[in-house]
Amino acid sequence: MLTTSELFNLKQVAPLLQPLLTDDMPWRLLKNLDSFLESISDERLGQIHSTAWVIGSVYLDVSARIGPHALVEGPAWIGPGAEVGHGAYIRGGVVMAQGSKVGHSSEVKHSILLSDAKLPHCNYVGDSIVGHNVNLGAGVKVANFNTFDNTIKVGEQDTNLHKFGGAIGDDVSIGCNAVIAPGTLIGPRSLVYSGVIVSGIYSADSVIKHIPVQEVIAKHRSHH
Q: In Å, how far from its chain's centre is CA 185?
A: 12
Q: Which long-range contacts (CB under 8 A, 24 or more apart) does 83-88 make?
A: 84/52, 85/120
Instruction: Look at phi and psi of residue 20 and say left if phi exceeds 0, alpha if psi is from -120 to 50, else beta.
Output: alpha
Instruction: Please give the Cα distance from 134 to 147 (Å, whole number).
Output: 27
Is 224 one of the annotated active-site residues of the chain?
no
Active-site option among 69, 121, 220, 223: 121
- CA angle 131–90–30, rounded 5-degree value: 50
Contacts of 127 (CB under 8 A, 6+ apart): 30, 109, 110, 111, 144, 161, 163, 164, 165
Dihedral sign, CA of 31, 36, 135, 137?
Answer: positive
Whether 194 and 208 have beta carbons less than 8 Å apart is answered as: no
Instruction: Please give the Cα distance from 60 to 7 (Å, whole number).
Output: 27
Contacts of 209 (CB under 8 A, 6+ apart): 192, 193, 196
Residues with a known catalytic role: 121
